[in-house]
């Protein structure tokens, strides 16, 4: 007879667990022992086994302590009276006086909401530490957020693995090399670039720099970098004048405004809802949408993802690119169904 399965354990997101731990340690004056934390704090108590083996949970707590301290939060340990040297009875706390904002700084509910939204923008890599620290501190203030906008949180994601190496090279003025695959090329080509700026335009990250092989400034889409960029031992002096990020964004904006596509969408479809909300889009009396775009291949990928809900009308290279993608998709499905 099979043994009854144990109830599933609810997994608590790491951000919620860290926040709950910070909140608990701020709220106590005398501190909490490890056992008290593991048995009562959200994110630990769900996995705590009274009298059982909690070794993995204790290791999780040790990692969380390091994470909290890395975020700049002043976490203290206090020995219990008469139990000096007994690590099992060490008490943990966060001094509210050291963690509080200065007394002369206050925020309204609306300001807390806006600051919270800003803190959630950066979510990955080394950029997350600052936002995590800010967000934990904002929440611990205990001021209610402004409800009408709390459901909206803009996010700038640095999903591309190439972002951090490029940012480091940018700060050090190091020349970088990477392989880059342009649409239409059979294989990626090695590039040598002096990085001048990293910018996000219309939700996508770009590197603006000097292509050393061409001796000219170019903009590279991070999503098309293959592998990890490598910093060389060579450095460079940036051109005089500065303002490279503004210049890169101005060029991308000009390209966006100058390129237009027309598409026909199925009324009431997901494609109509999403495409009609693109910035600067417009609709004529026949229901045809005019869209601005920066890169024809990126737009073709987006349009093809809607399948029969969209027909690309112009320009011709966009229409051909969408048809090519849909044809490849049909062929892939038909081939897979015969295997």
Q: Summarize the confidence of residues 72-100 as an average pLDDT.
A: 74
Mean pLDDT value across the chain: 80
Predicted confidence (pLDDT) per residue in 226-279, tens digit: 999 999 999 999 998 888 999 999 999 999 999 999 999 998 888 888 899 888
Confidence (pLDDT) at 87: 67
Q: Summarize the confidence of residues 119-136 as an average pLDDT.
A: 48
Confidence (pLDDT) at 3: 45
Confidence (pLDDT) at 103: 63
Is the predicted pLDDT of residue 93 greater than 70, yes or no? yes
Predicted confidence (pLDDT) per residue in 165-187, tens digit: 998 899 899 999 999 998 878 89
When mean pLDDT is compared across 42-51, 286-295, 306-315, the lowest value belongs to: 42-51
Predicted confidence (pLDDT) per residue in 20-53, tens digit: 888 888 877 788 888 888 988 888 888 888 888 8
Q: Is the peptide bond before 315 cis (omega within 30 degrees of 0)?
A: yes
When mean pLDDT is compared across 38-42, 121-125, 314-318, the lowest value belongs to: 121-125
Predicted confidence (pLDDT) per residue in 194-204, tens digit: 999 998 888 78
- Domains of the chain listed by start with CATH number: 14-99 (1.10.10), 101-157 (no CATH), 163-248 (2.30.30), 259-333 (no CATH)
Confidence (pLDDT) at 213: 94
CA 103, CA 100: separation in Å to the nearest integer? 8
Confidence (pLDDT) at 95: 78
Is the predicted pLDDT of residue 119 greater than 70, yes or no? no
Is the predicted pLDDT of residue 321 greater than 90, yes or no? yes
Confidence (pLDDT) at 152: 39
When mean pLDDT is compared across 58-72, 85-99, 105-119, 136-150, the lowest value belongs to: 136-150
């Amino acid at each position: 007879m099979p043994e009854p399965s144990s109830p599933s354990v609810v997994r608590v997101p790491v951000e919620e667990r860290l926040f709950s731990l910070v909140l608990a340690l701020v709220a106590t004056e005398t501190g909490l022992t490890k056992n008290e934390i593991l048995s009562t704090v959200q994110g630990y108590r769900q996995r705590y086994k009274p009298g059982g083996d909690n070794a993995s949970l204790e290791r999780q707590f040790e990692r969380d302590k390091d994470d909290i301290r890395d975020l700049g939060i002043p976490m203290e340990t206090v020995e219990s009276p008469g139990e000096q040297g007994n690590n099992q009875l060490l008490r943990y706390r966060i001094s509210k006086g050291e963690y509080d904002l200065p007394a002369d700084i206050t925020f309204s509910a609306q300001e807390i909401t806006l600051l919270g939204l800003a803190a959630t923008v950066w979510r990955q890599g080394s950029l997350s530490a600052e936002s995590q620290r800010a967000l934990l501190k904002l929440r611990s203030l205990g001021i209610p957020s402004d409800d009408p906008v709390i459901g909206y949180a803009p996010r700038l994601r640095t999903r591309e693995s190439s972002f951090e190496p490029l940012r480091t090279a940018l700060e050090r003025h190091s020349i970088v090399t990477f392989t880059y695959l342009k649409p239409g090329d059979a294989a990626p080509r090695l590039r040598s670039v002096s990085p001048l700026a990293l910018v996000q335009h219309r939700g996508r990250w770009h590197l603006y720099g000097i292509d050393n092989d061409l001796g000219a400034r170019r903009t590279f889409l991070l999503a098309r970098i293959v592998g990890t960029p490598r910093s060389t031992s060579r450095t460079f002096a940036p051109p005089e004048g500065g303002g490279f990020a503004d210049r890169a964004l101005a060029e991308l904006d000009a390209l966006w405004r100058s390129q237009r596509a027309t598409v026909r969408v199925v009324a009431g479809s997901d494609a109509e809802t999403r495409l009609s909300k693109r910035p600067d889009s417009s609709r004529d009396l026949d229901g045809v949408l005019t869209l601005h775009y920066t890169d024809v291949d990126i737009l073709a990928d987006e349009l093809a993802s809607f399948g029969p809900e969209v027909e690309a009308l112009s320009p011709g290279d966009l229409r051909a690119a969408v048809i090519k993608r849909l044809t490849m998709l049909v062929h892939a499905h038909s081939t897979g169904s015969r295997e």
